Chain A
Amino acid sequence: MSSAKTKTNPVNKLKLTGVHKSFGSNHVLNGVDIAVEPGKSLVVIGGSGSGKSVMLKSVLGIVQPDQGSITVDGQETVGLGPKDRDAVMRKFGMLFQGAALFDSMKVWENVSFGLMQGRGMDKRSAHEIAIEKITAVGLKPEVGDLYPAEISGGMQKRVGLARAIATSPEIIFFDEPTTGLDPIMSDVINDLIVKSVKELGATALSITHDMASARKIADHIAMIYEGRIIWHGPVDDLDHSGNEYVDQFIHGRADGPITRRTA
């Protein structure tokens, strides 16, 4: 599937080959193959529980894959020691499904956390960058002095985005950036994602089941089903993919080849 891509770009920014992961008898990933070119945005779509978050966590090293290879800039990352893993992590930024803000810290401390604690930047410069990123995601600088519990869910997502981009990562991961937001706020977040990825020149890997969001932020789309990538192509091909699973999913039809597991 990725052979066409490999021709245009010999080194993919991020590449997963045959990634397997099971939790006990629950086989979540059954050989995931995807690749993202530098500066491009890939969106993985798929139903709830299809293993999207597990796939992302495998890339981040939070979940240990049972089998397969994950390369970043051509370097194998599965089974890296703590030091090398650390160097790879510095290229990453991540927006979590539930924002995952540190609730014991103020908003600006959240945003500057990676800079101060992860990279040892001094407080004044970190604060400056934090306020800059907070305004970049469309929040007032005063929000920086509030605690995460004092702001709405949509604002938390924006702060999560500001935190993800604060360290100017090369690769940014978005785990369902728009779930739980109203359509307008979703679109605001989509625009922010597109804008910040462009400004940083970053590579993006997102997962979502919000099709409007996927169309807006993706260059390429891949669909995951039963732990495998079953279709993969440019976003413009989405509506004539010729794949009945994809068709069923993007139109949200209850009947089709994808059957609801009632387990």
Chain B
Amino acid sequence: MAAKLENFPDHKDSQKSGGPVGFIFNFFQAVGGAILGFFQKIGHLTDFALRSVAHCFMPPTFFKQILRQLVDIGYYSLPVVGMTALFTGMVLALQSYTGMTRFNAESAIAGVVVLSVTRELAPVLAGLMVAGRVGAAIAAEIGTMRVTEQIDALTTLSVNPFKYLVVPRIIAGTLTLPILVLIGDIIGVFGGYAVAVYKLDFSAGSYISQTWDILETMDVVSGLVKAAAFGFIVTVLGCYHGYNSQRGAQGVGAATTNAVVSASIMILIFNYIITQIFFS
């Protein structure tokens, strides 16, 4: 974009002449270039995502690859997501106890734990953990394949890299993250229960009934919808950055970082958007 602007002779002159006009022009050129570059990236990414989704529904499908990614992305993320959920549930119970006793509202703890975990914390934290674990791994693997021409080699062997590399990861991410989050919900609620009952001396029966009373199907469902969206975001961004990796080890490193950072930010943005859609 900036290159195009340089072709206008009068702009070039004003740049060379310096002075206030040149400065203002440079300023707007830099800002405009950055904004245009940003939207160009968004367009590029959207095109990549749409193409990936289209390939999900076109044969051939590499079932073995999908199975492998289900295990890689889903099964191996279980410990990370489980630990995150457990300690989140525990700390929620502890924190809300210290807060709620001030208002004699200890009975609200069960509700705070179950609603925070199912609606927000399990999906968002699981998404962020998976972004770090899976998004980085995907970007590094596909980036290395790009740099060492393995992706070109796929093409020459009549195998579409989108179908073979991208589709299995996206399907696995979108399907397994809701399952992980559902398990995380249960573990998180259990963590809160354990702290409440064994440390804070709540009665087990009333804690459980308070949990059930306040929980509604929509709370869990919204969390699972978020999880599916986050699984999609993490895997698409991992594939996108790996697929478009620049040459060399540095290129792959940058792809990995960008995949994790952009996925994390997108997760937080879409978390807000989905919450808005569900609860307003």
Interchain CB contact under 8 A, A60 and B152: yes
| Interface check B95, CB cutoff 8 A | no
Please give, as numbers and ranges, the residues of chain A lying within 8 Å of B152 by CB-CB distance.
Answer: 57, 60, 62, 96, 100
Q: Which residues, 136 to 194 on B, are CB-close (under 8 Å) to A?
A: 145, 148-150, 152-153, 155-160, 164
Please give, as numbers and ranges, the residues of chain A lying within 8 Å of B278 by CB-CB distance.
Answer: none
Closest to A24 in B: B3
Interchain CB contact under 8 A, B158 and A90: yes
| Interface check A174, CB cutoff 8 A | no
| Interface check B27, CB cutoff 8 A | no
Please give, as numbers and ranges, the residues of chain B lying within 8 Å of A89 by CB-CB distance.
Answer: 155-156, 158
Instruction: Determine the distance from Cα of A63 to Cα of B214 in the docked complex, in whole angstroms.
Output: 58
Closest to B58 in A: A82
Q: Given A117-B62, A117-B164, are A60 and B156 neighbors across the interface (CB < 8 Å)?
A: yes
Instruction: Determine the distance from Cα of A103 to Cα of B152 in the docked complex, in whole angstroms.
Output: 14
> What 1/0 mask marks residues of chain A from 93 to 107 whose CB sits below 8 Å from any chain B CB?
110111011110000
From residue B160, how far is it (CB to closest CB) to chain A in Å? 8
Interchain CB contact under 8 A, B159 and A60: no
| Interface check A244, CB cutoff 8 A | no
* Residue among B3, B145, B148, B156 making CB contact with A94, cutoff 8 Å: B156
Interchain CB contact under 8 A, A114 and B158: yes
| Interface check A86, CB cutoff 8 A | yes
Q: Given A98-B149, A102-B150, A117-B62, are A61 and B159 neighbors across the interface (CB < 8 Å)?
A: no
Instruction: Determine the distance from Cα of A89 to Cα of B157 in the docked complex, in whole angstroms.
Output: 7
Given A97-B149, A118-B157, 20 further pairs, Cβ under 8 A: A24-B3, A25-B3, A57-B152, A89-B156, A90-B158, A94-B156, A96-B153, A98-B148, A100-B148, A100-B149, A100-B150, A100-B152, A101-B150, A101-B153, A102-B150, A103-B150, A118-B158, A119-B158, A163-B157, A167-B157
Interchain CB contact under 8 A, B157 and A61: no
Closest to A173 in B: B156
18 A-B interface contacts by CB (under 8 A): A60-B152, A62-B152, A62-B156, A86-B158, A89-B155, A96-B152, A96-B153, A97-B149, A98-B149, A100-B152, A101-B150, A102-B145, A113-B157, A114-B159, A117-B157, A117-B164, A118-B157, A118-B159
From residue B57, how far is it (CB to closest CB) to chain A in Å? 14
Q: Which residues, 1 to 38 on B, are CB-close (under 8 Å) to A?
A: 3
Please give, as numbers and ranges, the residues of chain A lying within 8 Å of B3 by CB-CB distance.
Answer: 24-25
